[in-house]
Amino acid sequence: MQRRQFLSSSLGAAAALEAQAQGQGSGAREYYELRRYHMQSGPTTKAANKYFEEALIPALNRLGMKTVGAFDLYLGPETPSLYLLIPSSSLETLVNTESHLAKDDEYRKAGEAFLGVSAKEPAYLRIESSLFIAFEGHPKLTVTPVSAQRGARVFQMRTYESPGMAAHRRKVEMFHSGEFEIFKKAGFWSVFYGDALIGQRLPQLTYMVSFPDLSDLDAKWKAFFADPDWKKLSSSPKFNYEAIVSNITNLILRPTPYSQI
């Protein structure tokens, strides 16, 4: 299915009704589009980075999407891959991004080389795209403390699939029942927590946390699992009487030099 059709499906319309129900107050939950560009080794990856930095991300910023993350897949399947995390307070703007970009002359001029490549030499192999709504307990994306200074940082993105909607809801509830606070105590930099509205292998949730480096990642996960509050929460009969997570995908990402996260 084409990406535009994918995001404009009936599920997108259902999400729009949900957005109206939330209202537009300062506590409203953001939406996220997570894109994965499947690349091939060679000059196309360099061209894609140039397009993201000079054309796409500036255009997204002009649409009000002010903090766009761009990442290389460091550890995970099917490299090379590039990820974009696009946050928006407006669902309408997010799902109609391509229509808005088509009217942006500055974007089309800056991205001309990438957008106009020959079908015989494609700029990328495929794009995967998912749409998320932020968790109520973490309604907006959080930029890491070192992002503005382009400090050292790595990102871990974890996806939890559940065997059904009831189990999925309990896993989301688990975050709101103390898991957020345990992450904070252990020193994690939490970036976003999203409940998938549209995507593959539903139902699922995805979240992203960050660390100065991989050794810090290992140390903080040890602190997390050793925390008495985590042991109490994870052993609660409400959450452990059956498996509420059936599969976990774990990726390590590195920010590109132009990433805004």
- In the chain, % of residues over pLDDT 90: 83
pTM for this prediction: 0.88
Question: What are the pLDDT digits (tens) for 69-95?
Answer: 999 999 999 899 999 999 999 999 999
Question: What are the pLDDT digits (tens) for 194-230?
Answer: 999 999 999 999 999 999 999 999 999 999 999 999 9
Domain with residues 3-255, CATH architecture = 2-Layer Sandwich (3.30)
Question: What are the pLDDT digits (tens) for 20-45?
Answer: 434 444 469 999 999 999 998 888 89
Question: What are the pLDDT digits (tens) for 159-186?
Answer: 999 999 999 999 999 999 999 999 999 9
CA distances from 21 to 25, 133, 139, 258 (A): 11, 13, 15, 35
pLDDT, residue 241, reads 85
Per-residue HEC secondary structure of the chain comes to: CCHHHHHCCHHHHHHHHHHHHHCCCCCCCCEEEEEEEECCCCHHHHHHHHHHHHHHHHHHHHCCCCCCEEEEEEECCCCCEEEEEEEECCHHHHHCHHHHHHCCHHHHHHCHHHHCCCCCCCCCCEEEEEEEEECCCCCCCCCCCCCCCCCCCEEEEEEEECCCHHHHHHHHHHHHHHHHHHHHHHCCEEEEEEEEEECCCCCEEEEEEEECCHHHHHHHHHHHHHCHHHHHHHCCHHHHCCCCCCEEEEEEEEECCCCCC
Please give the structure tokens belonging to residue 141: 């994306």
- Spans of all domains in the chain: 3-255
Q: What is the CA radius of gyration of the chain?
A: 19
pLDDT, residue 23, reads 45
pLDDT at 188 over 60: yes
